[in-house]
Amino acid sequence: MSDNHSVTDAELRRFFLERGPDWVRQQAETYSARGRPLTPGLLDLYRPFIGADAERARVVTAQIQNPPFYAELLARGVDPGELLNFAAGRHGWHHIRSRNHPRASR
């Protein structure tokens, strides 16, 4: 990434590809033991998108923090609205859905 507090889309993608997988693995290690299989309704919902992987998927409700690398992105000038706010919990997910689908209830 450049040092001029400007981050291009390509730099942002590279940043996530370099740092994101480790953070996802850490979350899986932390929460996987508490995970439960998807309910039949969720299986029906996700199966068209992830196929047989839906059977292996597990879900857990937990309060998590944003990835530690977000601080560097924000310092480089990335708009916070462009980052998925994991720390906001369900409110953060609802915000994303509402932003992408204006007809969704708030």
- Over its length of 106 residues, how does the chain's per-residue pLDDT go in tens digits? 444 457 888 999 999 999 999 999 998 888 888 889 999 999 999 999 999 999 988 888 888 899 999 999 999 999 888 888 888 876 545 433 333 334 333 3
Instruction: Give the separation between CA 23 and CA 74, rounded to whole angstroms.
Output: 17
Euclidean distance between CA atoms 3 and 1, whole angstroms: 7
Distance from C-alpha of 47 to C-alpha of 21, rounded to nearest angstrom: 23
- Closest C-alpha among 87, 84, 91 to residue 106: 91
pTM of the complete model = 0.64
